[in-house]
Amino acid sequence: MQIGSSGTSELENILLNAPPNAVNNTINTGPHSVTSRSTYTVPAGKRALIVSVNAQAYRTSTPTTPGEWGFTGSIKPSGGATAIYFRSLSSSNVAYTSIAHVDVLNIFLNAGDVIDIQTNDGSIGGTIRYNTGILYKEFDL
């Protein structure tokens, strides 16, 4: 599209005017293995602009035995290998410890591509409150 033209393409309309969609998850949980908390798969016939991702972890009670805890974000292209794009981990056993990660990605994903935020807590006892989210805009090909 040329600057100053009067029409807008579908992509421009979506990127400029449409509100973004969101996948959010908030949970307070005890120790657990790797668990997907926020996942988005681009539907067939669509593309998606991943606007931002966020992940926050807040230890709400002290474990009896500390272990590594935190979150990992990954992207898996359709038919491709998973690539980790962020990882934030802590081994603190102190209550009220927190870690956070926020990214403004602005990357395009194709049909079948998957973006995933996973959490893990290898400690024994205690609880952690997780808040994860993916903000995206989806459009037709």
Share of the chain above pLDDT 90, in %: 59
State the amino acid at position 17 in one-letter form. N
Helix or strand run (H / E) with residue 115: strand 114-121
SS3 10: helix
pLDDT of residue 24: 84
End-to-end CA, the chain:
17
Looking at domain 22-140, its CATH architecture is Sandwich (2.60)
Helix or strand run (H / E) with residue 27: strand 21-29
This prediction's pTM? 0.83
pLDDT in tens, 54-103: 999 999 999 999 899 999 999 999 999 999 989 999 998 889 899 998 88
Q: What tokens appear for 1 in the block?
A: 């599209």
DSSP lists the bridge partners of residue 49 as 108, 137
pLDDT in tens, 19-68: 678 888 888 898 999 999 999 999 999 999 998 899 999 999 999 998 99
